[in-house]
Amino acid sequence: MIRALLAALLLATPAGAEPLARTLFGAAKVPSQQASEAIGSYARGCAAGLVAMPESGPGWQAMRLSRNRFWGQPAMIDYLQDLSLVAQGLGWAGLYIGDISQPRGGPMTGDHASHQIGLDADIWMLPPRRLNLSRAEREEISSISVRTEDQRAVNANFTPAHAALLQAAASDPRVERIFVAAAVKLEMCKTATRRDKSWLQKIRPIAGHNTHFHVRLRCPEGSASCVTQSPTVAELSDGGSGCDATLDWWVTTYLEPPKPPANPPPKPTTPPPRNARTFLMSDLPAQCAAVLAAG
């Protein structure tokens, strides 16, 4: 079935053109029957042998099921289920789980640059009121924003329970990074205890994360082709928390309207670098072709 689908997609591609990787991976509806392995990097790779996050459990519900993005490495599925118990201990009913990965990972048909190797997951900022939402309700309900409209501070939706959940999420040794709105990082830097802020190093500000936080796990054992995340923040004088002056850039300079350059640069004569939307199969690790072809 998979091979027939791939053949149809290849036939539909104009002669001499290579199909986009996101088209091929987006068409795969089930995972490969291979040993679980993360292949390549978070934003340039694929995944073998992914497993499904159960649609519902004692402490979670997977959202937007129609997207078919609830597949992850076994380590990710275990992590999310463990974190749902932490959420319950903080007074939440559990967690609403957003996108993880497509059945075979790879570039997505839209929305994400990463989430390609089964080690990224989005967790809604909306504390669940109940965990018996129907499939239809999961398509209609939306999360909540936890920052102000001007993006400079958290709003009343961000509670001590949110902060405690993020601290617990980041303190897990399986975690590599957690991406949040800059306002959330700033607030946590203000309120975290001074005794130990090292876990805050994993909490990273990034645009587009006001309604969810994005967990990224470390490469699991046995995934020899998984590319480890390189450190992006040097060890800091405050103990490596990332709560230094550079954090203010996100709520100051980053939000300022761009100024037109005095001397506009010449138009580039070479095509821009490829990304998740434009990757071809030849841009991904060679093993990804085998992941697509596997039963």
Asked whether residue 271 is assigned to any structural domain, the reply reads no
24 falls within a domain: yes
Q: pLDDT band at residue 3, thresholds of 50, 70 and 90?
A: low
Residue 14 has pLDDT above 60, yes or no: no
Determine which helix (DSSP H) or strand (DSSP E) holds 292, and give its type and residue range: helix 287-293
pLDDT at position 13 over 60: no
Q: pLDDT, tens digit, for every residue of 121-144?
A: 999 999 999 999 999 999 999 999
Examine the pLDDT at 291 and tell me if it is beyond 70: yes
Instruction: Give the residue from 97, 121, 182 showing the smallest Cα distance to 147.
Output: 182
Q: Per the domain annotation, does 159 fall within a domain?
A: yes
Residue 268 is assigned to a structural domain of this protein: no
In sequence order, the 6+-apart residues with CB closer than 8 A to the CB of 187 are 153, 154, 158, 163
pLDDT in tens, 209-268: 999 999 999 999 989 999 998 775 444 444 578 888 788 899 999 998 888 888 888 888
Distance between CA atoms of 145 and 207, rounded to whole angstroms?
13
pLDDT digits 0-9 by tens, 200-222: 999 999 999 999 999 999 999 98
Which domain CATH number covers 247? 3.30.1380.10
Sole residue written with tokens 């640069």: 265
DSSP 121-152: EEEESS--S-S---HHHHHH------B-TTSS
Q: How many domains does the chain have?
A: 1
Domain contains 263 = no
Answer yes or no: is 233 within a domain: no
List Cβ<8 Å contacts ≥24 apart for 153-158.
Answer: 153/183, 153/186, 153/187, 153/251, 154/183, 154/184, 154/186, 154/187, 157/125, 158/125, 158/184, 158/187
Mean pLDDT on 27-36? 97
CA distance 60 to 86: 11
Q: Please write the tens of the pLDDT for every residue from 83-113.
A: 999 999 999 999 999 999 999 999 998 889 9
Which pair of structure tokens corresponds to residue 202? 């994993």
Q: Domain of 215?
A: 2-7+20-228+239-253+282-293
**Is 78 among the domain residues?**
yes
At residue 98, the 3 state secondary structure works out as coil
Handedness of CA 258, 260, 265, 270 (dihedral sign): positive
pTM value? 0.90
